[in-house]
Structure formats: structure tokens, C-alpha cells
Amino acid sequence: MTPAALPPGLGIVAVGVVLGLALVALRRLRAARRLTPETTRQALHATMSAVALSLPWLFDTDWPVVVLAVAGVAAMGAVRAVPALRETVGDVIHVPDRPSVGDVAFPVAVCGLYLLASESPVLYTVPLLLLGIAGPTAALVGASHGRKAFATDEGPKSREASVAFAFVAFLCVHVPLLMFTPVGRAEALWIAAIVAVLATIVEAVSWRGLDNVFVPLGTYAVLLRLLTFPATLLAGHAVVLGLLVGLAAALRRETTVGGAGVFGAVLVGYLVWALGGTAWLLPPVLVYALYARVWPAAREADGLPHDPRRRPHTAQNVFSVSSVGVTWLLVASAFDLDLLFPYALAWAATFAFLGVDRMRTARPGWTVAQLAWRAAWRATLVGVGPVLLVVWLRVGAERVAGAVSGGASAPAAPVLFTAASVGVALVVTAAAAAILARWKRPIDLESTEFEGRVYRAGIVGPLSALGLLALLVP
């Protein structure tokens, strides 16, 4: 940290005064120039980001920033709760008829970023540049020139706005890396391209203003990792990300995922590949590519090949379907454990759920047993089949080249492991399908959409944990 420019107390007062004056000035400017609520909100967003950029030079300790964050959250809460404030400065902060927690999320995100990265000017500055320049630019471009819209959980967003965000985000990353770090030109180019695409996806799939948290903290996490990679590895990341975008776009007409849900699928796929590798990427890719193809008559019931009006699933649906599998991946990555089989079982059980949801519409007369059997073997093949293929490839590689250091080793008894894995997978997927087939109607009728997702995850999680039994097989 640099030496503080002001005493902590005076710095806190200075930040509060600047932000208060900005609110008053923007409110008067809006009345005088008849600015739209979105324009004034984005102007405030840029102003708050500019003030946040000064914090590492104003303070050389953490507690003043924590105090400012708490005061900011309290102030935003007061604007929401006090009618006099809501009717005056509230119209600068909030856009009518658009529920958002972005005003509260902003000080929380800035505080978190400061605590993580205040000693690294680039890691602190770049995420805030995306938040304060790329975000407002995209919003204003979308409002003025948006023509081609895609659906999100908050309503339509324009492709033009996303392109503008990606372009500005690329510059916000590329220029600081070239000017203020020893990163090479090729590395800076690849890093800027990857971060720009990922940040654009995060901004597109975020809801209720949570992009104010996800974009800066996500950018920080990605930068922290990518800055350690050589150019060749960065190029590989860029190629995989491009392939995932292309695959998701190509399969769009063959799935029930629409709008920002496609971006969500890309984000999940890249996260899985970056943390786990190709073996971990296979189950979600096959689930995404095949769930609309392998269930007899379900395509007709779903209106496939798709009428655009029959794409009801959004990014939140994608994240909820992926939640248990991604949790296994994060645990495996954090504790350096080989949890590939429980992870694959989570995707297999999820695939069984998707089949039950679809076949209950296509074949309403089928019994629970009929659904469970058909779901079990299909889900086992799609979710667990790729993992067993990887296991046998390891077996073959070790028999040809001998044991290699690093990575998961092949089982000593691959035939026994395969038989046990298939048996466990059939039991898990059949049980998942039977439970959902039996309780689907009460879940759908007696719970909210969010509660329904939690119930489904509560079934998939414990069942997929049975995959830990595979670790007992030598």
C-alpha cells in the first residue's frame, strides 16, 4: 500500500462528501436535462467506481474501507426504507420497475476487492474499470442502439450491449497489463480476450444487480490465475472457451435453453474444464448435447426442433442443474481429491431428472418403474460412460508406458471397478428417477420454483455421494 493521502477519519468524510455531492448533482442534472433513470444510474455507477479507485491511495489500512462499506449498505437501506429519501435521491439510484440489489452489492464488492487486492494496483484497478466503464457503456449502448435482444432472467438484453461490454472490457484489461506489468504482449492479449469474454458472460447471466459483485470479484479471481500462465497455455484456454461458445451456439436449436442460458452453459463448461480438465468436462457436455435427443417422443412433446417460443430454461436453470456437480468439482479442487465418479453420478442423476421431467409430458401413462428403468440406463451411459472410458484409457496408458507421476492413477482392478461403478450408477439413477417421478407433482404444485430446485439438489447430492463407494475398490 502507498502512504495514506489523508488521515483515516478525514478520508472517510471526504469519500462520503464526494458521493453525496454526486447524488445531488446527478439529481439536479436529471431534472434539468430530463435524463432517463438508466442514464443517471449509470453516471452514478461510473462516479462511485472512480471514487473506489482512489481508496488504495487514500488509506493504508483496511478498517476505513470496511467502515465505508457498512455505511454505504446502511445508506442504501435508508434510501429504500425512508419515503423522503426514496422520493429524492432514490430516483437516481434505482430504475423504476426493476428490482435490484445492485446498490447494496456495490459497496460490498468494493470492500471485498480492497481486502483482496489493494496491495496490487492492477488487480484492484482492472475489475473496477470493468465495473465503472464497461458496465455503463454497455447499458447506454443497449438503450440507444440495442436491436437484437436475447432473453435473461431480468428481461431482454441486447447483443449490441454485450458486444460493447466485451470490447471495452478487453481494453480495460489489455492496456493496464501492457503499461503497468511485466506481462508479455502475447500473454496480455490472450488474458484480455479471455477475461473480456468471461466478464461479458457473467454480466449477461447476472440478475438483480448482482453483476456488481460477480464481475469485479470474478475478474480478480480469473486474473489472479491467468497471470501465472505462459502464452501457450493461455492460448489453449482461449481455444477451449471459443469451442464451448461455438458448441453452445450450435446446439441452441436442439435444446430448451434460450437467451442467457446459453451463456450460462458456456460459463459452467469453462469452469469445469479450467478446474478439472477434459475428463470432468465430458459429462456436462454430453448432458447438454443429448438430453433433448435420447428420450423417445420427448422431442415432439417439447416442440423440437425448437420453436423459439419453446425455450423456457434460463441461466438460473442451467446453474441449478449444474450445482451439485460443480460442488463436487470445487471440493475435489480445494482438497486435491479424486472425486470424478461422484461428480459423474451427479450429472447422471441430473440427466435422469431431465428425462423424467420430459417423459412425464410425453408419456403421461408410464409408471414409475417404466420411467426409472429407462432413465437409469440412459443416464448411466451419458453421465458415467465417459468417466469409465477415461479410466480405461488410463489403464491402457499405464500398461504401455508405466505409471506416471501426477494426476489420477488407474485402478488396480479395472474390471471390478467398472462393474461396481455401473452397478452403483444404475442404482443411483434409477432411485433418482423413481423419487422424482413419485414426488414431481407435489414438488411442482406445492413449492416455488426456487424451492423445487433445492428439493432436486437435495435428492441428487446424497445419491451422488454413493459414488464414494467406488474409492473402496482397489
pLDDT at 232 over 60: yes
Q: Assign 402 a pLDDT band (cuts: 50, 70, 90).
A: low
pLDDT at position 176 is 94
With a CB cutoff of 8 Å and minimum separation 6, the contacts of 409 are 394, 398, 403
Residue type, 390: V
Q: What percent of the chain has pLDDT over 90?
A: 33
Taken in order 91, 95, 96, 102, is the CA torsion positive or negative?
negative
Residue 236: its pLDDT value, please?
Answer: 94
* DSSP three-state, residue 380: helix
- As a whole number of Å, the end-to-end CA separation of the chain is 52
Angle between helix 340-362 and 385-401 (nearest 10): 150
Which residues lie below 8 Å from residue 129, measured CB to CB, with a gap of 6+? 49, 53, 172, 176
55 vs 90, residue with greater confidence: 55
Q: Which of 71-75, 153-157, 390-394 has the lowest mean pLDDT?
A: 153-157
Query: What digits encode the pLDDT tens for the residues 341-357?
Result: 999 999 999 999 888 88
What local confidence, expressed as pLDDT, does residue 310 receive? 59
Length of the chain: 474
Q: How far apart are CA 218 and CA 208, in angstroms?
A: 17
Give the per-residue pLDDT at 428. 92
Rounded mean pLDDT of 376-383?
A: 91
Query: Is residue 269 very low, low, confident or very high in pLDDT (cuts 50, 70, 90)?
Result: very high
Where does the pLDDT of residue 442 fall: very low under 50, low under 70, confident under 90, or very high at 90 and above? Answer: confident
Grid coordinates standing for 437? Answer: 417421478
CA angle 466, 469, 474 (to 5 degrees): 160
Tell me how far apart the alpha carbons of residues 379 and 215 are, in angstroms, rounded to a whole number. Answer: 35
**DSSP sequence for 1-38:** -PPPSS-HHHHHHHHHHHHHHHHHHHHHHHHHHT--HH
Tell me if the pTM is above 0.75: yes
Average of per-residue pLDDT across 127-148: 83
